Amino acid sequence: MDVIESLYEMILSRKANPVSGSYTCKLLESGRGGILKKLGEEAVETILAAYENDKNRIIHELADLFYHTLVFMAYEDITLEDVYCELISRKQNHLPKLNDKC
Please report, for the chain, how many H helices and E strands are present, in that order. 5, 0
Residue-number span of the structural domain to which 26 is assigned: 3-77
- In a domain, residue 86? The reply is no
Distances (CA, A) of 10 to 7, 41, 55, 75, 87: 5, 22, 27, 13, 23
Write out pLDDT tens, residues 60-79: 999 999 999 999 999 999 99
- In a domain, residue 64? The reply is yes
- In a domain, residue 8? The reply is yes
- In a domain, residue 56? The reply is yes
Domain count, the chain: 1
- In a domain, residue 89? The reply is no
Distances (CA, A) of 13 to 19, 24, 85: 9, 10, 23
- In a domain, residue 58? The reply is yes
- In a domain, residue 83? The reply is no
Assess whether pLDDT exceeds 80 at residue 102: no
- In a domain, residue 65? The reply is yes
Q: Tell me, what's the pLDDT at 7?
A: 98
What percentage of the chain exceeds 90 in pLDDT? 80
The Cα 68–Cα 74 span in angstroms is 10
The Cα 68–Cα 97 span in angstroms is 27
The Cα 53–Cα 49 span in angstroms is 6
39 φ, ψ (degrees, to nearest 5): -60, -40
CATH number at 45 reads 1.10.287.1080
